[in-house]
């Protein structure tokens, strides 16, 4: 930011500093860019997220809104100043309670809560919420944060060093990457930048659909000293098409002469940092010619020319599952219900906008950025830049939330191009607006369905049809189209069934992966119809679901025989006492006349873990160093969900050595084998299984070397491996053994790929090897005069097969529920209108009620130690359970989410007007 520098001095974490800086530079930038204190995060630059909270003279403020001049003479405290030699009680409490997941919001929360605790050492829950209401967290669902603050001075946590060998699975140690998340030491995408790096700006389309011509870039460069280069599609050396599913790859890294959505990248401007920061993008020479656009699938599929050649009717692809004779079943059903529901674009709204840098190391392009999928980034970036994959190295920096959107490349090919062409490192951190405009969203869905049951309440048939607005490019549209029909029945026996899911192109934002790949939308349709069907049949809504829940030995709508491990019925059964209590309480409340009505709703989920009928392998490698460390090459990117800890827990118990013996190497593609992407709830199951196999393989090598049986125990003492079996005790001096190329005395690697089978033209086959199940009960209060909804409690029963780490599993559940609340009640991304975090609303700490988690363990023989996936399942039941509770409270049927106060009130009034 320009303005003549002035001398400013202030105190930072107790130490005096003096700087010559612009007086209007944001304090966040002063801390990060001038003082290297990158623990203070930038999430929005607008006071909407609180990630940059710091304490100035005892009061917490947003550093992004504080001019440097205002801290002259002040005492400034940041996350780096909270630990005084040892972690503060609050930092320890965050670790103990699992209150930090990805860690991007953690510094802001810690700083804000520290300011609270210094004024009020024993705050109530409400006081904590009031104090932390200005800091957004997208991962945790806030409940553990509230507990961590109210119990800041509680007992210390389980130390990994105290967990004996073979006892890691089922324990809840502090997450292995936890400490650096609470000290501010974690390095996220924007936290590292080489001294000589160029800054990069992306020129993006302001139009839905337009042709464009770039003008005289030489004149532009001449007029802007310090701006060094402009890159356009013509500069791309490779194939200017990327996409997560190679056969559908269709998105140019830089548009060629036509843009298909608002926010699409058309050019890059690279220059010295100060010049880029002082550049007004309005000066860039580009002429636009707007073209007609279509924003709804309805329009796009009937009356609009294809956005992509060969995709007639703008149909990207269609998924289809059929079994039995659904029409006949519905015709002969004792009772049927039908309906239609629409959902909105949902933005991932991770608190970390995409960021990173690229640099050349010899002839290898190194990209250090936040990501969920390092090997996919490598392959896509290499293809765009015309490099062989091995000449691109992806080093994942910490990822401040992903939820599906950081599976696709965003800035990687862009900064890669600049580094490749200029030979200088190239750095880029998206603004919040850039992030929201240009990255993927949850598919808006227009769905209709009908379900029928016999007189005893057995579901006999269902038809489902859904159009999913996949936006301008393919991204994960095919996955959504294919996953939805497989899951749209819910975890219920449905003998006659037809489901179609279509991914339709429009000029809207690219819809991609978002926690659940379309299944949360489809489940809203199915589970709200289940409530109406139960009512029509005169059955209790929970018992109706229990009656129809899939059990071992039954077949899915894909004809897949579920031999064992089907846990939906126990999930629903565990909710029975909560159901009875909450219905009684609601009835009591509603007996009195008043402006609020209580309601109770329930909904289920099931979710296949891993890719749908596609190969999906993970590889894990580990070795023992001569100095007695077990090094796990853990490539399952931990975006906060806990794979660093969970995968290691599995591996430790498989190997038979304690967790504290392990050191982790992250997902650097030059050092760590491919553990696939962090998506599809596959890391605990698939990468965990690979870690289990690798751990067992290493154990076997050691046992064979020591010539003992499987019953032997192994231990590490200093630089010796001790192997004991009965009277036999062997001490193996690790330093005396020959080392492999990686420097390991013993090493093993294993790959696991879930055994699935292709689906035929009727969607019959074995799409997934493992499913996870769950059910949630929501209690809420509706204000019938304002249409506002206050959630009172969510009870969540989830079958995880085996809870490898119960604390982390709870964290996933609470975080998923928070996102489900957002989907149900407030989140609606409108391109051009809600490209910030004050018009686009995600739940705050005051919007997530008490959550009671019930972990159910019905082991799956395929999963590691019986474990199943969980990450996406947890979001699926929340929204339909909320809608069912709203209907129970008021009779209001919501046909479009989010159920904003205006929509809820309109639905209530529609019921009142109905005859």
Partner 1 sequence: MYTNEFRARTNDKRRRDGERGRQRGMATRYAKPTDLEEALRLLDEARWTMLAGGTDFYPTLGSAPLRGNVLDINGLAVLKGISETESHIIIGARTTWTEVLRHPLPPAFDALKLAAREVGSIQIQNSGTVAGNLCNASPAADGVPPLLILEAEVEIRSVKKTRVLPLKDFILGNRKTALGPGEMVTAVRIPRQAATGASGFVKLGARRYLVISIAMAAARVTAAQGQIAEAAVSVGSCSAVAQRLAGLEDGLKGHPVQACAGIVAAYGFPELSPIDDVRGTASYRLQAAREIVARALLQAMGSSAEGGLAA
Distance of closest approach, residue 838 Cβ to partner 1, in angstroms:
5
46 binds partner 1 (CB under 8 A): yes
The H or E element containing residue 532 is helix 519-537
Which of 499, 826, 892, 907 touches partner 1 (CB under 8 A)?
826
Which of 50, 263, 297, 485 touches partner 1 (CB under 8 A)?
50
282 binds partner 1 (CB under 8 A): yes
DSSP code at position 509: P
3 binds partner 1 (CB under 8 A): yes
Instruction: Answer yes or no: are the C-beta atoms of 646 and 808 closer than 8 Å.
Output: yes
Which residues, other chains included, contact 572 with Cβ-Cβ below 8 Å and sequence gap of 6+?
542, 545, 546, 549, 602, 604, 775, 797
906 binds partner 1 (CB under 8 A): yes
**Vertex 123, ends 122 and 124: CA angle to 5°?**
125
DSSP code at position 880: H
Q: Which is nearer to partner 1, 32 or 621 (CB)?
A: 32
Q: Helices 143-150 and 89-97, interaxial angle, to 10°? A: 140
Which of 531, 674, 828, 872 touches partner 1 (CB under 8 A)?
828
306 binds partner 1 (CB under 8 A): no
Applying CB under 8 A, the span of 76-84, 279-287, 704-712, 753-761 interacting with partner 1 comes to: 279-287
Tell me the backbone φ, ψ of residue 413, rounded to 5 degrees.
Answer: -65, -25
516 binds partner 1 (CB under 8 A): no
DSSP code at position 450: E
Site string (135-174) toward partner 1, x via CB under 8 A: xx--------------------------------------
46-81 exposure pattern, b = at least 16 Cβ within 10 A, e = fewer: ebbbbbbbbbbeeebbbbbebbbebbeebebbbbbb
Distance of closest approach, residue 890 Cβ to partner 1, in angstroms:
11
Which of 33, 35, 134, 239 touches partner 1 (CB under 8 A)?
134
What is the bridge-based pairing of β-strands 198-204 and 426-429? parallel
Which of 30, 113, 279, 537 touches partner 1 (CB under 8 A)?
279
Which of 354, 465, 814, 847 touches partner 1 (CB under 8 A)?
847
Distance of closest approach, residue 431 Cβ to partner 1, in angstroms:
5
799: left (phi over 0), alpha (psi -120 to 50) or beta: beta
CA distance 890 to 912: 10
Instruction: Answer yes or no: are the C-beta atoms of 373 and 679 closer than 8 Å.
Output: yes
Site string (451-480) toward partner 1, x via CB under 8 A: ------------------------------
Helix extents (H) in 346-496: 374-385, 412-422, 432-438, 477-487
DSSP code at position 361: E
Residues 649-668 that bind partner 1 (CB under 8 A): none
Residues 758-797 that bind partner 1 (CB under 8 A): 781-783, 785-790
Which of 130, 299, 454, 713 touches partner 1 (CB under 8 A)?
130
CA gyration radius, the chain: 27
Which residues, other chains included, contact 557 with Cβ-Cβ below 8 Å and sequence gap of 6+?
321, 323, 486, 489, 494, 497, 499, 763
Which of 278, 299, 573, 668 touches partner 1 (CB under 8 A)?
278
Which of 1, 221, 737, 855 touches partner 1 (CB under 8 A)?
1
Residues 572-631 that bind partner 1 (CB under 8 A): 594-596
What is the bridge-based pairing of β-strands 53-56 and 265-271? unpaired
Which residues, other chains included, contact 313 with Cβ-Cβ below 8 Å and sequence gap of 6+?
300, 301, 302, 306, 504
Which of 834, 859, 893, 896 touches partner 1 (CB under 8 A)?
834
414 binds partner 1 (CB under 8 A): no
Instruction: Answer yes or no: are the C-beta atoms of 588 and 580 closer than 8 Å.
Output: no
Residues 675-694 that bind partner 1 (CB under 8 A): none
Residues touching partner 1: how many (CB under 8 A)?
73
Which of 34, 179, 272, 277 touches partner 1 (CB under 8 A)?
277
Q: Which is nearer to partner 1, 492 or 840 (CB)?
A: 840
332 binds partner 1 (CB under 8 A): no
Distance of closest approach, residue 276 Cβ to partner 1, in angstroms:
9
Distance of closest approach, residue 854 Cβ to partner 1, in angstroms:
26
How would you list the strands of the sheet with 210-214, edge to edge? 258-259, 210-214, 286-290
905 binds partner 1 (CB under 8 A): yes
Q: How many other β-carbons are positioned within 10 Å of the β-carbon of residue 671?
A: 15
Straight-line distance from the first to the last Cα atom of the chain, in angstroms, rounded to the nearest whole number: 63
Distance of closest approach, residue 42 Cβ to partner 1, in angstroms:
11
Applying CB under 8 A, the span of 272-280, 488-496, 547-555, 601-609 interacting with partner 1 comes to: 272-280
559 binds partner 1 (CB under 8 A): no
Q: Which is nearer to partner 1, 223 or 758 (CB)?
A: 223
4 binds partner 1 (CB under 8 A): yes
Distance of closest approach, residue 24 Cβ to partner 1, in angstroms:
6
Which of 825, 875, 881, 883 touches partner 1 (CB under 8 A)?
825
Applying CB under 8 A, the span of 128-136, 402-410, 499-507, 757-765 interacting with partner 1 comes to: 128-136
739 binds partner 1 (CB under 8 A): no
324 binds partner 1 (CB under 8 A): no
Q: Which is nearer to partner 1, 390 or 912 (CB)?
A: 912
Query: What is the token pair recorded at 747?
Result: 């090493």
890 binds partner 1 (CB under 8 A): no
- Which residue from 489, 486, 404 is spatially nearest to 682, judged by alpha carbons? 404
841 binds partner 1 (CB under 8 A): yes
Omega of the bond prior to 139 within 30 degrees of 0, cis? no
Paired residues of 315 in beta bridges: 504
SS3 string of 809-869? HHHHHHHHHHHHHHHHHCCCCCCCCCCCCCCCCCCCCCCCCEEEEEEECCCCCCCHHHCCC
Which of 902, 910, 911, 912 touches partner 1 (CB under 8 A)?
902
913 binds partner 1 (CB under 8 A): no
Q: Which is nearer to partner 1, 237 or 846 (CB)?
A: 846
Which of 9, 59, 290, 740 touches partner 1 (CB under 8 A)?
59
Residues 420-439 that bind partner 1 (CB under 8 A): 431, 433
Query: What is the token pair recorded at 829?
Result: 């991304």
- Which residue from 176, 158, 160, 190 is spatially nearest to 100, judged by alpha carbons? 176
833 binds partner 1 (CB under 8 A): yes
Mapping DSSP to helix (H, G, I), strand (E, B) and coil, where does residue 408 land?
A: coil
CA dihedral of 437, 443, 446, 449, whole degrees rounded to 10 = -170
Q: Which is nearer to partner 1, 64 or 549 (CB)?
A: 64
Which of 587, 830, 910, 911 touches partner 1 (CB under 8 A)?
830
Mapping DSSP to helix (H, G, I), strand (E, B) and coil, where does residue 803 land?
A: coil
65 binds partner 1 (CB under 8 A): yes
Instruction: Answer yes or no: are the C-beta atoms of 864 and 754 closer than 8 Å.
Output: no
Site string (76-115) toward partner 1, x via CB under 8 A: ------------------------------------x---
Which residues, other chains included, contact 329 with Cβ-Cβ below 8 Å and sequence gap of 6+?
452, 460, 461, 495, 496
895 binds partner 1 (CB under 8 A): no
Applying CB under 8 A, the span of 460-468, 707-715, 737-745, 902-910 interacting with partner 1 comes to: 902-910
Distance of closest approach, residue 592 Cβ to partner 1, in angstroms:
10
């Amino acid at each position: 930011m320009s303005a003549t520098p002035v001398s400013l001095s202030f105190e930072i974490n107790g130490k005096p500093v003096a700087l010559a800086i612009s007086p209007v530079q944001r304090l966040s930038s002063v801390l990060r860019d001038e003082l290297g204190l990158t623990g203070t995060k930038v999430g929005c630059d607008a006071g909407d997220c609180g990630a940059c909270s710091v304490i100035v003279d005892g009061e917490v403020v947003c550093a992004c809104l504080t001019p440097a001049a205002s801290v002259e003479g002040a005492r400034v405290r940041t996350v780096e100043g909270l630990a005084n030699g040892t972690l503060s009680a609050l930092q320890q409490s965050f670790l103990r309670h699992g209150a930090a997941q990805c860690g991007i919001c953690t510094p802001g929360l810690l700083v804000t809560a520290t300011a609270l605790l210094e004024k009020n050492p024993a705050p109530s829950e409400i006081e904590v919420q009031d104090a932390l209401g200005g800091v957004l967290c997208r991962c945790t669902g806030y409940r553990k944060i509230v507990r961590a603050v109210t119990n800041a001075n509680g007992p210390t946590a389980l130390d990994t060093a105290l967990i004996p060998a073979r006892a890691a699975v089922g324990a809840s140690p502090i997450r292995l990457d936890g400490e650096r998340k609470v000290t501010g030491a974690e390095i996220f995408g924007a936290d590292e930048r080489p001294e000589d790096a160029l800054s990069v700006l992306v020129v993006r389309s302001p139009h839905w659909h337009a042709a464009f011509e770039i003008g005289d870039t030489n004149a532009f460069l001449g007029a802007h000293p310090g701006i060094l280069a402009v890159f356009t599609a013509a500069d791309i050396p490779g194939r200017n098409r990327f996409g997560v599913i190679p056969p559908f790859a269709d998105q140019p890294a830089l548009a060629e002469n036509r843009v298909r959505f608002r926010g699409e990248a058309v050019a890059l401007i690279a220059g010295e940092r100060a010049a880029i920061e002082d550049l007004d993008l309005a000066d860039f020479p580009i002429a636009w010619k707007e073209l007609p656009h279509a924003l709804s699938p309805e329009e796009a599929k009937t009356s609009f020319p294809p956005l992509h050649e060969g995709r007639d009717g703008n149909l990207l692809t269609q998924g289809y599952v059929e079994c039995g004779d659904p029409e006949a079943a519905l015709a002969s059903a004792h009772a049927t219900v039908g309906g239609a529901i629409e959902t909105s674009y949902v933005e991932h709204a991770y608190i970390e906008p995409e960021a990173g840098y690229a640099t050349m190391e010899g002839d290898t392009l190194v990209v250090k950025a936040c990501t969920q999928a390092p090997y996919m980034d490598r392959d896509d970036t290499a293809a765009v830049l015309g490099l062989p994959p091995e000449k691109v190295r992806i080093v994942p920096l910490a990822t401040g939330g992903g939820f599906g959107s950081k599976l696709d490349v965003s800035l990687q090919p862009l900064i890669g191009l600049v580094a490749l062409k200029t030979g200088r490192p190239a750095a880029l951190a998206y603004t919040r607006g850039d992030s929201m405009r240009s990255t993927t969203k949850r598919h808006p869905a227009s769905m209709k369905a009908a379900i029928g049951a016999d007189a005893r309440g057995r579901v006999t048939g269902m038809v489902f049809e859904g159009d999913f607005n996949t936006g301008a490019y393919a991204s994960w549209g095919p996955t959504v189209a294919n996953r939805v029909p497989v899951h749209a029945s819910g975890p219920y026996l449905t003998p006659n069934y037809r489901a179609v899911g279509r991914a339709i192109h429009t000029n809207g934002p690219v819809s991609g992966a978002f926690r659940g790949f379309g299944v949360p939308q489809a489940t809203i349709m199915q589970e709200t119809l289940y409530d109406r069907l139960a009512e029509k049949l005169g059955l209790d809504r929970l018992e109706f679901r229990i009656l129809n829940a899939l059990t071992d030995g039954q077949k899915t709508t894909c004809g897949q025989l579920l031999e064992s491990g089907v846990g939906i019925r126990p999930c629903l059964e565990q909710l029975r006492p909560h159901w009875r209590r909450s219905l009684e309480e609601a009835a009591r409340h509603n007996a009195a006349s008043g402006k609020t009505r209580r309601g109770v709703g329930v909904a289920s989920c099931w979710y296949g873990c891993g890719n749908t009928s596609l190969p999906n392998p993970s590889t894990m490698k580990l070795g023992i160093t001569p100095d007695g460390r077990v090094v796990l090459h853990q490539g399952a990117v931990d975006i906060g969900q806990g794979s660093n800890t969970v995968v290691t827990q599995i591996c430790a118990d498989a190997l038979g050595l304690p967790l504290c013996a392990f050191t982790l190497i992250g997902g650097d593609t030059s050092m760590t084998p491919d553990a696939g992407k962090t998506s599809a709830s596959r890391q605990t199951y698939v990468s965990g299984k690979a870690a289990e196999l690798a751990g067992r393989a290493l154990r076997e090598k050691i046992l064979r070397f020591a010539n003992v049986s499987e019953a032997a125990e192994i231990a590490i003492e200093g630089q010796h491996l001790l192997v004991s079996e009965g009277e036999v005790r062997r001490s193996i001096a690790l330093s005396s053994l020959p080392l492999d190329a990686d420097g390991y005395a013993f090493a093993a690697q294993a790959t696991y790929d879930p055994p699935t089978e292709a689906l035929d033209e009727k969607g019959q086959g074995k799409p997934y090897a493992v499913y996870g199940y769950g059910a949630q009960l929501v209690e809420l209060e509706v204000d019938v005069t304002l249409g506002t909804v206050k959630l009172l409690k969510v009870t969540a029963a989830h079958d995880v097969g085996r809870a490898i780490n119960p604390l982390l599993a709870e964290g996933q559940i609470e975080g998923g529920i928070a996102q489900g609340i957002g989907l149900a009640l407030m989140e609606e991304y409108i391109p051009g209108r809600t490209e910030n975090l004050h018009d686009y609303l995600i739940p705050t700490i005051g919007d997530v009620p008490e959550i009671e988690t019930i972990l159910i363990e019905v082991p799956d023989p395929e999963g590691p130690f019986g474990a199943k996936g969980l990450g996406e399942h947890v979001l699926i039941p929340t929204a339909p359970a909320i809608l069912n509770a709203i209907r129970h409270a008021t009779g209001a049927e919501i046909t479009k989410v989010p159920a904003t106060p205006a929509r809820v009130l309109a639905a209530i009034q529609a019921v009142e007007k109905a005859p």
